[in-house]
Every structure is written in structure tokens, then in C-alpha cells.
Amino acid sequence: MWGVNMTVLEKSKPLVSVLINNYNYGRFLNDAIDSALNQTYSNIEVIVVDDGSTDNSREVIASYGDKIVSIFQENRGQGSTFNSGWKASNGDILCFLDSDDTFYPEKVEECVNLILSKQANSPLIIVSHNMDVVDQSGNSLGYMKTSRYKKYGGYSNFYQFACRYKFVPFATSPTSGNVLTRELAERIFPIPEVRTSADDFVVRLGVVLGNLYYLEKNLGQYRVHGKNHWHNNVPKAHPKEIWLLQEEFLNMKLKENNMKPVVSFFESIEAGTYYKINGSSFDYLKQGLYVFFSCPDLRTLQFFQKVVQVTLKNLIKKVFGIKRPSL
């Protein structure tokens, strides 16, 4: 850890833990592990947590021997793999890597340098960077996944945002584009052992408890295959229970950190995603009205305008017998 007795040289090379979560991605796993091992930054431990895979993942992981820390567990979901990786880690800085993604060689070094330059302000830091998008064979698709940092007005800490709008946005890149200091991770973990979208719990709590820094560089590859392509593309269609679990978890952690619990997803803009997919047009319109009149400003006005536009489109399609509604 960064202690007061550490030398300047030791502080400049903190241990970094790369936490790779895997379930049945044996065909991509070599690329992910190799990218973590072949960094320009040397003080690294690579921890691979396999969540009960039934493909060749175990053999791929075993082939690395003591170059990595291997954890094999029964299938319990992504949240459990995050918790297991965090518990086994020793690093001052934690990098998350989905097993179908990869890091560029300079990724860890760039993130460490940024964290070291900012830690005097606060040790509670989350870093987010861009990622190039590739297909399942690793070929570039010509665009990138960016942090959502700028979309929400460039906040560094999102607590005041949450106080005003009653939700915490997913304001970063996908899982593999996020890096945490251990001090921040210790305030987050363990997280609920959800099957998927564990990054929601890490990111949303990270940006409200810590300071978010956006590194505007492409430092990895986000692989598109099957149904994994959600970020900046389509909304996450979480069931209501997941939204409520996030709300409960965030408010619990806020109270633990002597902060007022202010999150109420179903009274916020964020609930628009749920109602647009799961509710009726009336539910969606009612949500838009409630959000705007409870907190009238440009952001909620734009949300209300969008709600009205979608509702009118769906009404027109219904009147003229078009079956598929607009999303």
C-alpha cells in the first residue's frame, strides 16, 4: 500500500492487479491474458477468475502456470467473479478486464501515471479510457467505445448530480476501460452477486464516492460478438429487481460513508429506460412529466421532450396499425 514510509521510487511503481473475469470465453482468453502480461508497466499481478466454465477455459488458464493467479469457482455470476478477484488481489490499483477484451501494452502505465498525478487531491480515484471496437476475430470495426463522462457534464464526483437527479449514471467506459485505486475499491466491495452487469454496481458507486478522471486515449479493444454489444448502442433492459437492488446497494454505501442516501431510480430520468421497454406509453409519458416537474432544468426538459416524441411516434404507429413501437 501507499504508506508514509515508502520511498519516492516505491510510490512511483505501485502494484497493479489486473482482474480478469471469465465464463466460457476460452476462445478469447489467451488474447486477454497475454495482453495483461505484456504491459510496458512491470509491477503487475494477473488474477483470472473462472466462473464454472464448461468449455476449454480451464485448460487455457492452467497453461499459464504461476505467471497468473488462477481461481476456479462454481458458476455464480459476474458479481461473484468480481468479488473473488478483489479478495485475492494485493494491488494498490485494480484494472478490470473482461475475458473477451484486451489491453494495449501501454494501458496500465498510462493509468498509473494519471493516478499518481491526481492522488494528492484524494486517493479515491476511478479512471476511464476509450476502447477500440473489434469483431470476434480482432478486426477493427472503425469506431470506439468512449467514456460517458462528457455526456453528463464532465462531473468529477457525481454525488451532487445524484442529489439533484436521484440517480447515479454509468458515466464511464465498459468494464475493461475502468481502473480503481484500492482505497476506492475497499469502499465498494463486496458487491451483490448478480449474474450479469456487475460493472453497474462498481461504476455507479465509484463515481459517487470517488473522483472520476477521463483519459482520452484508446487503451484497449472491446470485442463485439453475439449479444454483448450494449455500451453506447442500446439501453440495458434490466428487470425492476436489478434497479431496486442497485438503489438499495448505493444508498447503503452512501450511508456507510456518512452521506445522505439520495438514490431513487424510479423517480429519476434513469427509469425512462425501464418504462420505455417494459411499460406502456402512458407509464413512459407519466415518468417524463414527473421528472420534469420535480426538477425543472435543461436536462429534465430534454428528457421530457424525448419522451413526448417517442410517445407520439408510438401513438401514430398504433393508429395506423404498425406493430413495432419506437425505442
Show the CA angle centred on residue 136, arms to residues 133 and 142, nearest 5°.
30
Q: What 8-state DSSP symbol labels residue 63? A: T
For 73, phi then psi, to 5°, come to -135, 165
User: Which residues, other chains included, contact 131 with Cβ-Cβ below 8 Å and sequence gap of 6+?
Assistant: 101, 144, 145, 173, 174, 176, 177, 218, 219, 220, 221, 222
Tell me what the mean pLDDT of segment 113-127 comes to. Answer: 95
Q: 64-83 pLDDT, tens per residue?
A: 999 999 999 999 999 999 99
Residue 102 has a pLDDT of 98
Residue 323 has a pLDDT of 56
Residue 320 has a pLDDT of 72
Average of per-residue pLDDT values in the chain: 89
Please give the residue that has the higher pLDDT: either 175 or 311: 175
- pLDDT band, residue 264 (cuts 50/70/90): very high
> Is pLDDT of 325 > 60?
no
Residue 4 has a pLDDT of 38
- pLDDT band, residue 88 (cuts 50/70/90): very high
Residue 237 has a pLDDT of 55
CA-based nearest residue to 162, from 251, 239, 238, 257: 251
Residue 209's Cα: distance from chain center in Å?
A: 15
Residue 319 has a pLDDT of 76
Tell me what the mean pLDDT of segment 137-141 comes to. Answer: 93
Residue 195 has a pLDDT of 85
Domain spans of the chain, in order of start: 8-237, 255-319
Q: 176-208 pLDDT, tens per residue?
A: 999 999 999 999 999 999 888 899 999 999 999
> Is pLDDT of 148 > 60?
yes
Show the CA angle centred on residue 171, arms to residues 170 and 174, nearest 5°.
70
Top CATH class of 8-237 equals alpha beta
Tell me what the mean pLDDT of segment 91-102 comes to. Answer: 98
- The whole-model pTM stands at 0.87
205 and 148 in contact (C-beta within 8 Å)?
no
> Is pLDDT of 133 > 60?
yes
- When mean pLDDT is compared across 82-86, 140-144, 151-155, 208-212, the lowest value belongs to 151-155
Q: 2-39 pLDDT, tens per residue?
A: 443 333 434 569 999 999 999 999 999 999 999 999 99
Residue 5 has a pLDDT of 39
Q: 38-59 pLDDT, tens per residue?
A: 999 999 999 999 999 999 999 9
Residue 256 has a pLDDT of 97
